[in-house]
Amino acid sequence: MSRRNIHAALLVILVAGLVFATAGCEKLRVSRLQANHHFSNANHHFTEQKYRLAIEEYERALHYNPDLVQAYRFLGESYKNMYKPGVDNESNNERAQSALDALTKALEIDPNNKQIIHSLGDMYDKMRKFEEAEELFLKILEQEPTNMSNYYVVAGFYKRYAADDNDLKSRAEKMYLRRIETDPENPEGYSYLAQFYDEQQPLPEFDKAYAAHMMRTEMEPENPLVWYTLGVNRFQKAYRMQNVLPKAEKVQISDESESALLKSLELDNTHAFTYAYINMLYRNVHSKLYPEREQSFIQRADSWLERYREVRKRELEREKLERELQRGEIR
């Protein structure tokens, strides 16, 4: 074959290759456009909480682009939103499995995506599959050990399963303590730890919570909410344990409650529930501690109760006004 004929043949092959490549690229481009179109429609339906329509559109998007990780993620989220925890029937179990399948596929494509890991863990959590959920929540913590919110996610997860399980309570407590160790100068960590102790059942761990509250008062001495929660903690212990504590200890605790609540009012006299707790302290604790002065404490409690009602009324009026402003009802 002559040099001219060789060049001609090569040119034909090259042109043919370009034609097929161009056709392939065009097909791919159109496919991606179709996937994006259906993905956009699906997102709209998801935002409108029309999950069945969202599922149909996410599946169409994946037909055109099987690697669209966010389509798998929100397909799983759609099934999850339709799932009813605790309901054991065929259709609900199918939704659960479909959610797991879609979220697992999303994680296979993007194995380090925190949102997907959390969503899959949350789905296992809703299904009460503790070990699978725990593994995923701990994986988030391993990925971002300096992200404070991750400790609360894991601690909250353990709290949901704890009930009377002291081991799980201990794991939750360790998460709150690790959060504080990671950022010991941040009062938020002590706030969550105190709340954890205050919410223990059947009886709060009053003194552990008190220690955490006190740390907050050192860090935020001008924060009225800190003094309020401290006062509530002391009131709850004095009230709920008044039949078992020695009188001297009850006197000390009730005095601590009064001092903290009055300090809160000194910093902010617009918080209605501070007045409510002082009322309850005088009515339900002080009057029992000092029976010879019972009528005096009841009268003082009535005065605080009246002030609570006045301030609470103003709070409710302000909240109503804010709602109306948000809805645009006031011109």
Tens digit of each residue's pLDDT (9 = 90 or more) over 153-171: 999 999 999 987 999 999 9
pLDDT tens-digit readout, 179-227: 999 999 999 999 999 999 999 988 999 999 999 999 999 999 999 999 9
CATH, domain range 24-143: 1.25.40.10
Smallest CA-to-CA distance from 189 within 175, 203, 171, 169 is with 175
pLDDT at 152 over 90: yes
How high is the pLDDT of residue 9?
A: 42
Listed range (16-30, 160-174, 184-198, 235-249) with the worst mean pLDDT: 16-30
Average model confidence (pLDDT) for the chain?
90
pLDDT in tens, 168-188: 999 999 999 999 999 999 999
Whether 26 shows a pLDDT value over 60: the answer reads no
- Checking if the pLDDT of 11 tops 80, the result is no
Mean pLDDT of all residues in 41-63: 95
CA torsion sign, 100 to 106 to 111 to 115? negative
Which tokens go with 208? 């552990």
Segments in the chain forming alpha helices (H): 3-47, 51-64, 69-82, 90-109, 114-126, 130-143, 148-162, 166-182, 187-198, 206-219, 224-240, 247-267, 272-281, 287-289, 294-327
- What's the CA gap between 73 and 69, in Å, rounded? 6
pLDDT digits (tens, 9 = 90+) for 112-145: 999 999 999 999 999 999 999 999 999 999 999 9
267 pLDDT exceeds 80? yes
The residue ranges of every structural domain in the chain are 24-143
Q: What is the mean pLDDT of residues 242-261?
A: 96
